[in-house]
Amino acid sequence: MSNPTDEKISLPAEPEEMAAAFVDAFNSGNLQAMKEIFEPEAMRVISPGNYQAGKELWAASEETLAHRLPISLSVRHAYAVGDIALLIIDYVHEGEDPDGKHVRIEGTATDIVRRGADGVWRCVISNPSGTDRA
């Protein structure tokens, strides 16, 4: 189950700060913190042509957070034009599964983020598979 605490995270004031905000929210298991760094109409690409948005996205996110492996992120590239940015982010999920087996999953994500009127950058489209065709 996700962490029900009111633990606050630092919201990104620059596109490159999205990675640290995501790591803090994800690794804490705090669904509310995750919602704070995504726009309300955000979508997550599951595979080409398959995505989640709205209630489906948050239900899946809650399930993911309940069984999460810790994540680390490294921004490879950030390209901003005005209030929109493309992020290319390398990620590693690493830890033990429920059976105690060591697991390591890595890849490169592509995300679109947008700066809101409050100056905070939030994710609009999260594509964890990047350009992989999985």
Q: What is the pLDDT of residue 127?
A: 94
User: Is residue 117 a contact partner of residue 133, using CB atoms and an 8 Å limit?
Assistant: no
- Say what percent of the chain tops pLDDT 70: 93
Q: What is the pLDDT of residue 134?
A: 52
Q: What is the pLDDT of residue 7?
A: 66
Whole-number Å distance between alpha carbons of 90 and 47: 17
Name residue 17's amino acid: E
Whole-number Å distance between alpha carbons of 102 and 117: 43
49: left (phi over 0), alpha (psi -120 to 50) or beta: left
Which residues lie below 8 Å from residue 18, measured CB to CB, with a gap of 6+? 12, 37, 75, 87, 111, 113, 121, 123
Name the stretches of the chain with pLDDT < 70.
1-7, 132-134
pTM score over 0.85: yes
Residue 39, number of CB atoms within 10 A of its CB: 16
